[in-house]
Amino acid sequence: MSEADKVFKKSYKCPICDSNFKSLTVKQGKARMIDTDIDLKVNYRDIEPLKYDIILCPVCGYAALERYFDRVSAFQRKNIIDKICQSFRYVFEDKDEFDYDDAITRYKFAFLTSQVKMSKHSEFGFLCLKMGWLYRSYANSLDEKMQKKKAELKEQEKNYLNNAFNYFETARAKEQSPICGMDELTFDTLLASLCVELQKKEEAKKYMSIILSNRNATKRVKDKIFDLKELLDSENGEDEE
Ligand SMILES: [Zn+2]
């Protein structure tokens, strides 16, 4: 089954310009999970669902993750019309599936929307996290011969994940739980996992102890933290050699 068989054109109504349009979306239950990376990125067989996460209005250029697509105040809407829609000129090819470059362009439109919307730190963080993961998948999809391109993509991944971590730390201090739809424990587990991925050892330890002292932490969550700890310690060992 190809990626095109796992997506369909879903109808949306733009909250900015009121246009009706269709956007490729992953069919429910069609993406089969393979495994999960250290920082909780889930990998699927024959498809990268992250490529389809941005809904982009082809008429006015407004773009957002589905979770935030309809959340626009009157003030934000006016700003978006003035600063994005008026100058938006982009012709989209009608496609049956997106490649990584299509997806990156869509995320860039979503970042632009978020800047104009003056979105919360959590929304920027979530975009950065997904963009970082998208670059990882892109790099992994390339042939070993394309070392230079792979290295460039890995560098982008690292930058976006670092930005995600910084936005999330601020969101954690300033915003109310749930953040990005995650309860406190899930969000802290994501932060701890990101720290391990990014080799931020001090911060990783801080979040691990916060989680382990949380009375709501289940055995499953604690086991995950012990796995992360082991990973962090083994990497510490490598550094000292
Ligand atoms: Zn629109």
Residue 128 belongs to a domain: yes
- For residue 111, give its domain range: 1-119
- The answer to whether position 241 is within a domain reads no
Ligand 1 centroid, distance to 163 Cα (angstroms): 28
* Same-domain pairing of 115 and 25: yes
240 lies in some domain: no
In the chain, the number of structural domains is: 3
Same domain, 16 and 106: yes
Residue finishing a domain among 132, 160, 175: 175
Tens place of pLDDT for every residue, the chain, 241 residues?
789 999 999 999 999 999 999 999 999 988 899 999 999 999 999 999 999 999 999 999 999 999 999 999 999 999 999 999 999 988 888 899 999 999 999 999 999 999 999 999 999 999 999 999 999 999 999 999 999 999 999 999 999 999 999 999 999 999 999 999 999 999 999 999 999 999 999 999 999 999 999 999 999 999 999 999 999 988 765 544 3
Report the predicted TM-score, pTM, of the whole model to 2 decimal places.
0.94
Residues forming a β-bridge with 25? 8
Neighbours of 36 (CB within 10 A): 11
Structure tokens at 172: 């954690």
Start-to-end CA span in the chain (Å): 46
Q: How far is the CA of 77 from the centre of ligand 1 (A)?
A: 10
Give the closest residue to 139 by CA, choosing from 48, 215, 72.
Answer: 48
**CA-closest candidate to residue 162, choices 141, 191, 184:** 191
User: Cα(239) to centroid of ligand 1, in Å?
Assistant: 51
66 to 17, 57, 72, 115, 191: CA distances (angstroms): 17, 12, 12, 17, 22
Residues 21 and 35 in one domain: yes
